[in-house]
Structure formats: structure tokens, C-alpha cells
Amino acid sequence: MRIECDFLVIGTGVAGLTFARAVAGHGRVILLSKTTPRESATQKAQGGIATVIDIKDSFEAHIQDTLIAGRGLCKQEVVEQCVRDGPARIQELQNIGARFSTRADHPDELDLGREGGHSARRIVHAADATGEEMVRALLQSVREEPNVEILEQHMAVDLIVPGREHPDRRCLGAHVLDKQNNAIHTIVSPVTVIATGGAGKVYLYTSNPDVATGDGIAMAYRAGAKVANMEFFQFHPTILYHPGAKGQLISEALRGEGGVLIDKAGRRFMADYDPGKELAPRDVVARAIDSEMKRSGDDCVFLDATHLGTDFLYQRFPNITAACKKFGIDVSTMPIPIVPAVHYCCGGIVTDLDGHTSIPGLFAIGESACTGLHGANRLASNSLLEGLVFAHRAGSQAQNVARPDLSIAPDWESGDAVQSDETVVVSQDWDELRRYMWNYVGIVRSDRRLRRARRRHDLMLDEIREYYWNYHITSDLLELRNIATIADLIINAARSRKESRGLHHTSDYPKEVAAMAKDTILSRFGN
């Protein structure tokens, strides 16, 4: 089947939905959801949206906090633009019905939380389920738009981009797998938007949903787009440690309200690592926990919030308290066992302030994009802000894209591919890849570990390429292919950065090097 639209949006998190709203009045919009629109990292976001609301706060303070966290790699103009646009985007969400938490003593004022790395209380939240409330409001608004169609259970296979020698090389849409009937459709559009989120599933342990397999970044790289800073993966310090809990995030907001990190003996240890203690930037806290676990041999450390009181904990963090209770943990009387896990990809597809990538007609927004906002380490709750701000800006720009000749976009050809009778290969490679990425390219790296990862991954890539071209496509195979591409980018970027900066920490080069305060740019075509 061949489908034509004016805007093809791949992904239905905060960025994809915000973009769709921005362009809905300017043509036909198709939103692709790999599963359902509610399955995204946005949906799972607990903490909130960082923005300047309080009169005691300032844009300058938020800008400075972001720059400090980014360890010299943030782009100043991007940070300033994002911070200054924030309040308007919050107001827009409220205008479409998003309900954020308000102060008990002043119900007409937003209740602002505080998180690590922030010098003021500036986190707009909906209790501890901010992402869920954002998706609810945005999805309701998008579904009221007659020009917007959401295709569920549809996964992009690859972007349609003519070869390098073509005189007008631009993106013309994507080939898309309809998972319900296993058919490949060709969807053509003058504007294609990657809003597929992050790639946490490339690692064994992650807070990300199962859909976070880096699809958009991998497709863009294969098409020749520039990708940057893939060595910078943020490990969230506090993921619930329990055999039955799958990536259950324990929000940084709990530490922002006074929760403390302790070892199994009850010793508070963060003062040994940073003056900011529990409110130090995430990379510092994650490495401190990793260090404590390796030093003691314990499987986890603990987040103690018992001193905050039962009423406060159950009112401010209803979802966290309920999730912990499901596993027999009463947060008002018991410390929460926690470990670090992969949480956020600070790198991605290189874009400008308006979401343009290095390929005309292709935009990238949200976690898939590398805007220059986060640098070497994302400041807490700047991610939802980035998705809102740059999706809105990209929507304004995409309305002006000239319509190319879409007829030249080729339909899908399956060639000599046959049905596979060895699907065990996919599951085996999936498990093996994620494990060696965790062991060799994790929180603390070394040249030796990275060389081991490189050797194993080269063999893995050969196996996946052979399998991909010989057998019919499935969503599992596509996801394996994409995480393999992402792993390749991470390993190459990590090996090229001979220093420790932000989220990239290597025991062979433990210091920052001034000459390396620049982006790690990767391109399939070397330009």
C-alpha cells in the first residue's frame, strides 16, 4: 500500500504529539505508533517539567544550572532558547486541559518541586505521574483534530532517502511495517519527523519502556544523517531493586523533597562524593552508588524517605508508594532498595534550533535529537521541556517546507527473503548484545572493556546483517537491527573520547581534557 500525507510523524510521546498539534491545521498528519500512543517514555515520566515560574527564580539561574550539568558541551543559544520558551509551553498545556499539582495553601499557584542540579524549585509536576497527565491532555487534543490520523501497531523500517549521488537528496517518507498483518507500506511525505524517543533497551537494565530501541536514531544514521554524542547515556541513580520490578523508576523528586541515600548499615554516603550530596547531578550520584556497590559487594543501596512522614509521602508520591507497596515495601517505614539503570540518551540526531537535520525534509525532536541542550549530562526534568519547546518550533518551520516530487520514492521490495525458522537467533542476539553493553560500556568504562565490546559487536553486526537480508521482516528483527546500530554508535563514540566528561567516565582517562570540549560527530558517509 502507498499512502501520501503532508506530515509523517514517527512516534507518539510528548514531542510527536506536540508537533502534530502544531501542524494539524496545515495538512494531513499521520502519526505512527509502534504499539499504542500511550506506550512511551513520556508516559512513564514521574518528576516533571523544569521551567521558571517562581518570581524568586530566573531564566539566568536555570540557564546556568543547565550549563553546569552539561560539562562544557551545551550550546548556549539552544539552552537560552529552551529555557525562555518554557513558560509559554506550560501555559499551552494548561490551555488544553493538563492538570498540574497546585500548592495546598495557594490552590491557584503551581506546586514547584526541586531536583538534583537545580538551584531553585522549578519542577512543574502532576503529583508523581507528570508524563501520564501530559500524554492524556495532548492525546485528547490531537484526537480532536480532523487532519490527524494515528496508525497504531505500525513501525518504521527505514527512511526513504535517494542515494548519495542524487542531485536532490532529501527524505521522502518511510517504509513502514504494519505489525497487525505483517505488510510493508510506503508512506510518502514532504516532511518526515523522527520523534521515536530514546534507546535504553540497548542496555540490560533500563527504566525505559520496551519500545525504546533507538529506531529513529538508527534509521537516520543509516540514511546518512549526522549523529552526535552517543557516548553520553544517562544512568538514573534510583531504580527499584526487586526481582519482580521491571525498570520501576523512583523519581529524583523524592530526593528533592529530602530522601537520603544509605548503605545497608544505614550510613549516608553521598557527602563522600559531592558537596551537593543527594542533589548532586545524576552522573555523580549514579557513579557514587556504583562505587559503593562495588566496594561493599552489595546488590543495591537504599533510598530512605521514612522521615518525611506517611501523609506527605502518600499525597506527594501516590504512584511510587503504590508501586513499592506492590512489592511489599512501605516507603513510610522502610528504605527503598535501589540501583542505577540506563535512563536517557543525551546524544542523537544532530539538529538546529528548529529541528532540521542534515537531510532536507527530515526533522528530529525529543530524545531522538541532539539539539545541544544537554551537553555531556542532562539536567533533571529538562527532557520534557526540550520535547515541548523544540517540537513546537519544528512545527512552525515544517509548515513552510516545499513539496518535492514524491513519485520518485520507491515502493518496498522484499527480494528473495523467506520466512525464518530460526527466530531463536534474534532472541539470543538480543540478550547477548544488551549484556555485553552493560558489562563493557556501562557507568564506568575502560579501553580494555571497549575493545572487548568492539570485538564482540563486530561479530554480532555480521550475523544480524546476514539474517536481515535473508529473512522476512518482523518487529523483533527490526528492533534487534536498530539496537545493534545504536550499540555500534555508542562504542565508536566512547572509544574516541579519551577523557572523562559528564556521563562518559573511563578509568584510563579520569580527567576532563579542555581540547575535547566538543561534540563527537558520527556519519555513515563521513561528512
Query: How far apart, in whole angstroms, are the C-alpha atoms of residue 18 and residue 340?
Result: 30
Would you say residue 322 lies in a domain? yes
Would you say residue 458 lies in a domain? yes
Would you say residue 305 lies in a domain? yes
Handedness of CA 296, 298, 303, 309 (dihedral sign): negative
pLDDT for position 163: 79
| Domain finish residue from 341, 364, 390 | 341
Q: How many CB atoms lie within 10 A of CB 321?
A: 22
Percentage above 70 pLDDT, the chain: 99
The string of pLDDT tens digits covering residues 239-273 is 999 988 878 889 888 998 999 999 999 999 999 99
148 backbone dihedrals φ, ψ, rounded to 5° = -105, 130
Reply yes or no on whether 114 is catalytic. Answer: no
Query: Do the Cβ atoms of 154 and 135 come closer than 8 Å?
Result: no
The string of pLDDT tens digits covering residues 28-86 is 999 999 999 999 989 988 889 999 999 999 999 999 999 999 999 999 999 999 999 99
pLDDT for position 411: 93
For residue 276, the domain's CATH number is 3.90.700.10
pLDDT for position 421: 66
Containing domain of residue 291, as a range? 236-341
pLDDT at 419 over 80: no
The string of pLDDT tens digits covering residues 159-209 is 999 977 777 899 999 999 999 999 999 999 999 999 999 999 999 889 999
pLDDT for position 283: 83
pLDDT for position 205: 87
| Domain finish residue from 306, 321, 341 | 341
Which range in 1-5, 104-108, 426-430 is most confidently predicted, on average pLDDT? 1-5
Residue range 5-21: mean pLDDT, rounded: 98
The string of pLDDT tens digits covering residues 353-389 is 999 999 999 999 999 999 999 999 999 899 999 999 9
pLDDT for position 526: 76
Contacts of 293 (CB under 8 A, 6+ apart): 299, 300, 301, 339
Would you say residue 81 lies in a domain? no
Percentage above 90 pLDDT, the chain: 84
Would you say residue 241 lies in a domain? yes
User: For residue 480, what are the CA distances in angstroms to 9, 268, 491?
Assistant: 22, 41, 16
Would you say residue 88 lies in a domain? no
pLDDT at 423 over 80: no
H/E element, 272: none
pLDDT for position 44: 87
Averaged pLDDT of the chain? 94
**How many structural domains is the chain composed of?**
2
The string of pLDDT tens digits covering residues 296-323 is 989 899 999 999 999 999 999 998 999 9
pLDDT at 482 over 70: yes
Rounded to the nearest 10 degrees, the angle between the axes of helix 475-496 and helix 215-223 is 70
Residue range 320-329: mean pLDDT, rounded: 94
Would you say residue 444 lies in a domain? yes
DSSP category for residue 320: H
Do 240 and 331 reside in the same domain of the chain?
A: yes
pLDDT at 527 over 70: no
Query: Do the Cβ atoms of 507 and 445 come closer than 8 Å?
Result: yes
| Domain finish residue from 291, 326, 341 | 341
pLDDT at 422 over 70: no
For residue 488, the domain's CATH number is 1.20.58.100
Catalytic-labelled residue, pool 282, 378, 449, 456: 282
pLDDT for position 102: 95
User: For residue 471, what are the CA distances in angstroms to 9, 186, 443, 479?
Assistant: 28, 19, 36, 15
pLDDT at 409 over 80: yes
Would you say residue 97 lies in a domain? no
Length of the chain: 527
